[in-house]
Structure 1
Amino acid sequence: MKRKIGAMMLSSVLLSTMLAGCSGNNDGTSAGNKAGDHKGNTTATNTPVEKLTEIPLPITKDGMTINYWRANDGKLTASLESFGDMASYKKKEELTGIKVKFTHPPLGQQKDQFNLLISTKELPDVIYYNWADAVGGPEKLIEDGRIIRLNELIEQYAPNLRKIIESDPDVKKQITLDDGTIYMFPLLKLDALKLNATSGLIMRKDWLDKLGLKPPTTIEEWHTVLKAFKEKDPNGNGKADELAFTGNWGPGDLTKLHDFSPGFGVIGGFQMNGDKVEYGPIQLGYSSFLETMATWYKEGLIDPEIMTNDGKAFDYKVTNNLAGSYGGGVFSGMGKFFNLMRDTDPNFNLTGVPWPVSPNGTAYATFNMNNKVLTYGEAITTGADKEKLKDIVQWMDFNYSPQGHELFNFGIEGESYVKEGEGIKFTDVITNNPKGLTYDQALASYALSIMDGPINQDSRYLDALLFDEGQREANASWMKASSDLTLPPFRLSVDEASKSTSIMSQVNTYLNETMTAIINGQKPISEFEKMVDTIKGMGIEEAIKIHQAAYDRYMAK
């Protein structure tokens, strides 16, 4: 995205001021200040230190080891035991001279294990985590002396991440806490729209073609298509067994039907109305959403087993020509089934359907596709030796350098990928793996891009893996939706988060139960007014005020 030169210069000046500023603690004993007075950093007298302009390789020849904690990934464990076995990390060790000892909690237990880890005295040097899941957030962990403030370290020793922050005002706003603190080297998606528009509503294109229908763009057109799928035997077996819309959400409720709520001008949670925060389920449009979903459910257009389908049941319904449409992603919801059906049914085809157009003529997404800084990232703990901080920061920054960028997005050139002009192409090691690994499993043994990690994710990896036209059409279609209804990535303070959680735990449970009962016919649509009053009685207005305050702080950055 192009920026005016003057705006870039102003951003750079503001960032330098922000990075060099104090942490906001007057007693000088915060974890950030303790970590900031190590050898080579800015001293208490603000003696200037020359900033690195590039990462020297090797970073050290002293045989240094970083102790690193992060959750494992099922795609990687299909062939490897640890991230340390990944080809890109092996190459990084060779280039930087720094070894890494990874510790991984058991799959699915990362939250519990993180909470145990962060309460111990013996901390690793680096933790990679989804910090949105941390109790109290990174603010609390900094306050408690668990992780450190990184501003000054990034300013001096991380030229690649610093350059990204200085050149992109969106990144600068999204990477910092309310007080200006930077606490992690994050997962970045600078090509945000393309990289975030990888999930949405999916439909059988061959069924549409057979029935002479076009992909629906409005709620009314969706109803027409779903009725045709149910009544006109598009799978051609002479039975009325088609499931017009299905899913694999697991037991409990029908909240995933919120994929259709933007077609009524609302989403199923907090949303924006211009610069004002509001709660979607108490807006008038939500009543229309519930009424329509209840009609679809009564007419049999929604799979009656949608609340109990597990992954196995869902896969069966798709691969046995029963599922007409569902919500999913370009890989697990499309690529997987293209591969499974390629030989058994050459006519099988999927397409991504645009988000339904709302009454005001705008198609809204249910999530913010403009986020460039995700909540995943690696932070340095107070357990790290302060004499090693300079080297650790350089090691972390390497991933954002030109060489590190290609290494962790694509793997080893000539082995896992080759360059084709401005693009890249994955080799048969990835796309036709000799050990029988799927392409995502194979790429996970080489690079972070197919999972998550401290990188600037490159959209060329996505282009190289969208093998079928239906996947490419889906990505292009979902990119067209507006994110204006969704919240920007602002943060709640520790106290705000506690108050909001207390309110929303009740609200969410009640909302899920009530909307499910209305949609499946157990309660009438007239229950909506009572639902709104009940949610208001639970304190939703206070929760809205909390989110509004956080939004206002975010916009004032």
Structure 2
Amino acid sequence: MKRKRAMKLVLACALTTAVLSGCSSGGGKGAGEGAEAKGVNATGFPIVQEPVTVNAFAAKFFANADWNKLKLWQEYEKKTNIHINWETVQKDALKEKRNLLMASSGYPDLFYASAFSKSDLFKYGKQGVFLPLNEYIDQYAPNLKALMEKYPVIKKGITMPDGKIYSLPTLYDPEFRSVFFNTPWVKTEWLTKLGLKEPTNLDEFAAMLKAFKQGDPNGNGKPDEIAWGGVGTTGIVGYLRGSFGLGNHGNANQYVDTEPGSGKIRFVPADPRYKEMLEYIHKLYKDGLLEQDIASVKSEEIDAKGTAGLLGIVDNVDPAAIYNQKGYAGLPVLKGPHGDQLYTYIGSPLGNIGMFILTDKAKNPAAMVRWMDYFYGEEGIKMFFMGWKDDTYKEESDGTVDYVDAIKNNKDGLSLDQAVSQYLIWPGGYYPGFVKQAYFKGAEGLPTSVENSKKADPHVLKPEEIWPAFNFTTEEQQELTTLANDIETYVTEMRDKFIVGDAPMSQWDDYVATLNKMGLDRYKQIYQAALDRYSKSS
């Protein structure tokens, strides 16, 4: 959550209210479920009558304190009667350690913040190693169940092809609009100095960039301004694709949407409109209006330019949060050459869905689903992100909250993330639970970010149009992994080459022919099967 680029993938959803057809549909039970549920209080605290100990494995960020001594878990143990014996690993070493645990059968009762892939969820679920949670959700997770009923996309996104739910996710409140937006930020001071208005279409956008590049808006007499500054070409492609009618179901399935009219899967990077967009971006690059090392520049290089105030457009979160540069506003959604004016660079409310998993070693799954469900409800969300009133946060008469001064202005020189991490685990954005604007204090929650999202609202995809990342069967995933590795790597490579001119657009037909030889038709068929299941699911 510290960098918007880290969450591309992320976010928006179906906001229509629907009646969920029962979480128990297609569900299964862990071994001895009836016995496991004994001693579990259906509501209130403690969760269990007699204290229990659960072995858990989790990934954490460097700033987090020892989880076995962390106040969050100590206080929650007092409420629940459930003691967690935490084994943690730094996030960078997660994959290796997680795979070793699974290979050796030395895995724990619970995996928390362990980011299992969808293919692993399905594989270990089918093997019986990961427990199906459908019926436990139905009986012991009223907070999550309510969210699933309100936002049907959640259930669709966490249900595997066999109809079972093997994990609980990170969720982003669909009402927290700014957390879903990736629109770039424009330096309004430069617009004012050059007598420009915010652009409304592609021609005005190019003219603005040209003025930034040539008009010396920082007034130092040097041509050191960078009109568009960003790491990689993903940002500008994402920002502009809706202006070309591309990405009509959001960003969670990055390379596919549906063909207008037929509703069938379309591979976006082979569409003529995509070619047209790359031609436009290439002209911007050729005219010197984009960072000239955009395909290879390192983030620290862009950060240095941003901190120095040299970027007319910042392709990241609010520069006030990362560069201490105020006076930027979100760019408007631009009208394209065919009249399209859509904001499609937006994901679903589902973050990683493999963040809370109970294994076949779990002695009381019902209790642990109740344990996790607290953090999908208002009281638990507030504790998870803010801690405890008058200890870690203060609350105003209107109900707004903020951290106490000892955290915001730490006497030991700790950053906010570091100070918060002495009590809580959310910094770094690696956890299951529900992210709400009222309690999230990252860059996406700043007032400027909220206003930015409101500006784009009239042109955003309808919530029901936005897909979560699709789930695949084991066989589909195995085949898709091989196909996607070749196809998507080639797409990225050629996208950059077309933009910077290392490959002329006259090679477009050869590029499409190569994609077809790589198995593009089969790639699309697999996605079509996943879309068909998604469309039919309740």
TM-score (norm 2): 0.86
Q: What is the aligned partner in structure 1 of residue 139 from structure 2?
A: 156
Q: What is the aligned partner in structure 2 of residue 327 from structure 1?
A: 315
What is the CA–CA distance in structure 2 between the aligned matches of 1:482 and 1:503, rounded to whole Å? 31
Structure 2 residue runs without a partner (length 5+): 1-13, 248-253
Of 188, 196, 218 in structure 1, the residue corresponding to residue 201 of structure 2 is 218
What is the CA–CA distance in structure 1 between the aligned matches of 2:467 and 2:88, rounded to whole Å? 32
Is 1:133 matched up with 2:117? yes
For each residue in 1:251-301, what CA deviation from the matched residue of structure 2 results, as whole angstroms up to 9, or x when unmatched? xxx444422333222256212335322111111111111111211111111
Between stretches 395-404 and 483-492, larger displacement belongs to 483-492
What is the CA–CA distance in structure 2 between the aligned matches of 1:511 and 1:372, rounded to whole Å? 25
Of 330, 335, 339 in structure 2, the residue corresponding to residue 360 of structure 1 is 339
What is the CA–CA distance in structure 1 between the aligned matches of 2:454 and 2:246, rounded to whole Å? 23
Following superposition of structure 1 onto structure 2, how do residues 221-260 of structure 1 map, counting pairs within 5 Å? Answer: 221-249=204-232, 254-259=233-238, 260=240
Q: What is the aligned partner in structure 2 of residue 266 from structure 1?
A: 246
For each residue in 1:160-194, what CA deviation from the matched residue of structure 2 results, as whole angstroms up to 9, or x when unmatched? 33343345433333332233312223222233551
What is the CA–CA distance in structure 1 between the aligned matches of 2:460 and 2:45, rounded to whole Å? 42
What is the CA–CA distance in structure 2 between the aligned matches of 1:552 and 1:51, rounded to whole Å? 39
What is the CA–CA distance in structure 2 between the aligned matches of 1:186 and 1:167, rounded to whole Å? 16
Q: What is the aligned partner in structure 1 of residue 400 from structure 2?
A: 423
What is the CA–CA distance in structure 1 between the aligned matches of 2:103 and 2:268, rounded to whole Å? 37
Q: What is the aligned partner in structure 2 of residue 554 from structure 1?
A: 534
Which residue identity is paired with 1:336?
I
For each residue in 1:502-525, what CA deviation from the matched residue of structure 2 results, as whole angstroms up to 9, or x when unmatched? 112111222222222222222211
Contact 2:444/2:450, CA 8 A, preserved across alignment: yes
For each residue in 1:431-462, what CA deviation from the matched residue of structure 2 results, as whole angstroms up to 9, or x when unmatched? 33333233344334444555232222222124
What is the CA–CA distance in structure 1 between the aligned matches of 2:454 and 2:70, rounded to whole Å? 31
Q: What is the aligned partner in structure 2 of residue 291 from structure 1?
A: 279
In the TM superposition, residue 316 of structure 1 has moved relative to its aligned partner by: 0.9
Is 1:201 matched up with 2:187? no
Following superposition of structure 1 onto structure 2, how do residues 60-71 of structure 1 map, counting pairs within 5 Å? Answer: 60-62=49-51, 64-71=52-59
**SS of the residue 1:307 aligns to:** coil
**SS of the residue 1:266 aligns to:** coil
Contact 1:449/1:457, CA 8 A, preserved across alignment: no
What is the CA–CA distance in structure 2 between the aligned matches of 1:445 and 1:322, rounded to whole Å? 36
Of 414, 419, 437 in structure 2, the residue corresponding to residue 459 of structure 1 is 437
**SS of the residue 1:237 aligns to:** coil
Of 10, 19, 24 in structure 2, the residue corresponding to residue 19 of structure 1 is 24
Which residue identity is paired with 1:523?
A
**SS of the residue 1:503 aligns to:** helix
Contact 2:306/2:314, CA 8 A, preserved across alignment: no
Contact 1:366/1:486, CA 8 A, preserved across alignment: no
Which residue identity is paired with 1:276?
K
Contact 2:167/2:358, CA 8 A, preserved across alignment: yes
Of 180, 183, 208 in structure 1, the residue corresponding to residue 163 of structure 2 is 180
Is 1:350 matched up with 2:328? yes
For each residue in 1:407-454, what CA deviation from the matched residue of structure 2 results, as whole angstroms up to 9, or x when unmatched? 113211122223332432333234333332333443344445552322
Shift of the 426–129 alpha-carbon distance from structure 1 to 2, 3 Å rule, reads: closer
Q: What is the aligned partner in structure 1 of residue 89 from structure 2?
A: 105
Q: What is the aligned partner in structure 2 of residue 501 from structure 1?
A: 481
Is 1:514 matched up with 2:489? no
In the TM superposition, residue 35 of structure 1 has moved relative to its aligned partner by: 5.5
Structure 1 residue runs without a partner (length 5+): 24-31, 42-49, 342-347
Is 1:54 matched up with 2:37? no
What is the CA–CA distance in structure 2 between the aligned matches of 1:360 and 1:276, rounded to whole Å? 22
* Percent sequence identity over aligned pairs: 26
What is the CA–CA distance in structure 1 between the aligned matches of 2:90 and 2:366, rounded to whole Å? 31
Shift of the 194–153 alpha-carbon distance from structure 1 to 2, 3 Å rule, reads: same
Q: What is the aligned partner in structure 2 of residue 344 from structure 1?
A: none
Contact 1:198/1:329, CA 8 A, preserved across alignment: no
Q: What is the aligned partner in structure 2 of residue 442 from structure 1?
A: 419
Contact 2:179/2:444, CA 8 A, preserved across alignment: no
Number of equivalenced pairs:
510
In the TM superposition, residue 52 of structure 1 has moved relative to its aligned partner by: 5.6
In the TM superposition, residue 66 of structure 1 has moved relative to its aligned partner by: 1.9
In the TM superposition, residue 97 of structure 1 has moved relative to its aligned partner by: 2.4
Q: CA RMSD in A?
A: 2.9
**SS of the residue 1:278 aligns to:** strand
What is the CA–CA distance in structure 1 between the aligned matches of 2:405 and 2:505, rounded to whole Å? 55
Q: Which has the higher contact order (CA 8 A, sep 6+)?
A: 2
For each residue in 1:303-362, what CA deviation from the matched residue of structure 2 results, as whole angstroms up to 9, or x when unmatched? 1222333232121111122222132124xx541222xx5xxxxxx422221343343332
What is the CA–CA distance in structure 1 between the aligned matches of 2:306 and 2:73, rounded to whole Å? 37
Between stretches 210-219 and 505-514, larger displacement belongs to 210-219
Q: What is the aligned partner in structure 1 of residue 451 from structure 2?
A: 473
**SS of the residue 2:228 aligns to:** coil
**SS of the residue 1:379 aligns to:** strand
Between stretches 428-437 and 308-317, larger displacement belongs to 428-437
For each residue in 1:476-498, what CA deviation from the matched residue of structure 2 results, as whole angstroms up to 9, or x when unmatched? 33555534686433311111112
What is the CA–CA distance in structure 1 between the aligned matches of 2:225 and 2:345, rounded to whole Å? 27
Which residue identity is paired with 2:454?
A
Contact 2:282/2:498, CA 8 A, preserved across alignment: yes
What is the CA–CA distance in structure 1 between the aligned matches of 2:111 and 2:143, rounded to whole Å? 20
What is the CA–CA distance in structure 2 between the aligned matches of 1:549 and 1:156, rounded to whole Å? 31
What is the CA–CA distance in structure 1 between the aligned matches of 2:180 and 2:445, rounded to whole Å? 16
